[in-house]
Amino acid sequence: MTKKTKQNLIGGVIDKPGSSKECKTGEWKTFCPIWNKEKCIHCLQCVQFCPENCIPVKNNKRLKTNLDYCKGCGICAQVCPIKIIKMK
């Protein structure tokens, strides 16, 4: 795939942040974020950028993604500065 083609692709659209609270996504997502708890530095970038607010935080540390509401968009993996979130 050429660079130009890749730039012109339209990805999934989440037109209303937080809409997952209106309905569970369950298991229909194409990709699922896999978080490496042991290597996480808890910078909370993933939490700040998650459009569905499905990454809980307790005592300034992120917890496991709530997959019932995650849409699998991959933003968390893209913004992770140490790349410990993989989309599978």
- What CATH number does domain 38-88 carry, 3.40.640.10, 3.20.20.70, 3.30.70.20, 3.40.190.10? 3.30.70.20
Banded model confidence at residue 2, pLDDT cuts 50, 70, 90? low
CA distance 62 to 84: 13
pLDDT, mean of residues 60-74: 93
Pairing type for strands 33-35 and 85-87 reads antiparallel
CA distance 50 to 74: 9
Residue reference for tokens 């369950």: 26
pLDDT, mean of residues 36-63: 96
Q: Is the pLDDT of residue 45 over 90?
A: yes
pLDDT, mean of residues 57-78: 94
Q: What is the mean pLDDT of the chain?
A: 83
First to last CA, the chain: 21
pTM confidence score: 0.72
| Domain boundaries of the chain, sorted by first residue | 38-88
CB 42 within 8 A of CB 61: yes
**Each residue's pLDDT tens digit, 10-35:** 555 555 555 656 667 766 778 999 99
**Bridge partners, residue 62, by sequence:** 57
